[in-house]
Amino acid sequence: MVGRNIFIVVAFAVVIGVSCSKVAQESVDDARAITEAYDEWVKAVNAKDIEWWSSFLAPNAVFLPPDSPPLETIDAIRAFYIAQFRDPEFSLECTQTFVDVSQSRDLAWTRGTCDGTFTTPSGDIGSGSGKWAKVWVRLDDGTWKCRLNTWN
């Protein structure tokens, strides 16, 4: 009987260990997918391709740009970025520095930094640095999309 109980405990520990390893690997896979999506997001920004860039937005996305009212519809978000994309000097160099995926694997948040170049109101070339945070949601098809974006 003792031998059987030890077998059950060892078997349970192996199952738990495999299960934990699987969950950990899935979380790593999710973080990698979000990082890849964000890298493509930045490429789409620098290509000034509004259709490609918009493909990273969740259907109910909200953006909170600094010194501006919230952008609470996809149309408002797209209009904001279309205006940015019209600037011939506009470009971003961004790095995602952190990804945290929820245990339920349907929500994640990320943060990072960006350096930007743009045309100032006086017509000069300007630049700036900032920090950002995003909330990502996993859609039913398994893709990760940005639900909330804010930066300074």
pLDDT tens figures, 14-44: 444 444 566 567 778 999 999 999 999 999 9
Instruction: Write out the residue range of the structural domain in which residue 46 sits.
Output: 2-151
**Neighbour-count burial for 129-144, b at 16+ CB within 10 Å, e otherwise:** eeebebbbbbeeeeeb
Instruction: Supply the pTM of this predicted model.
Output: 0.82
**Whether the predicted pLDDT of 45 surpasses 60:** yes
What is the domain count for the chain? 1
pLDDT tens figures, 56-114: 999 999 999 999 999 999 999 999 999 999 999 999 999 999 999 999 999 999 999 99
CATH of the domain at 76: 3.10.450.50
Residue 12, amino acid:
F
**Whether the predicted pLDDT of 137 surpasses 60:** yes
**Whether the predicted pLDDT of 6 surpasses 50:** no
Question: Which is more confident, 125 or 1?
Answer: 125
